Amino acid sequence: MNKNTNIAEVKKGARVELRNGFLATVLDNLTNGQTRLCNVEGFVTEMGSVYSSDMLNVLTPSGWSPILHTPKQLAGRKARQQMGW
């Protein structure tokens, strides 16, 4: 693993590893907010919104790098967990 990457540095076209183990390609350039549009390669390949806090690692030129999330994104994740999502 390499140095941590701020979620704002994850740009369009970036490859990310999701919390569920699937890989995804980011399709938008939004640098803040709770969700990002991604093409997710799971059991099937589909496009949809992915919570930013569900992105664990991003592929950089030097390898996989952990993603640092904002306090607001982490609070949103905690709220979703409490609701059972």
- Per-residue model confidence as pLDDT tens digits over 31-41: 777 899 999 99
Structural domain range at position 18: 5-82
Q: What average pLDDT does range 61-85 have in this prediction? A: 93
Work out the percent of the chain whose per-residue pLDDT is above 70.
98
CATH number at residue 37: 2.30.30
Between 7 and 27, residue with greater pLDDT: 27
Which 3 state secondary structure label does DSSP give 73?
helix
Pair 16, 10: CB distance under 8 Å: yes
Total tally of structural domains belonging to the chain: 1
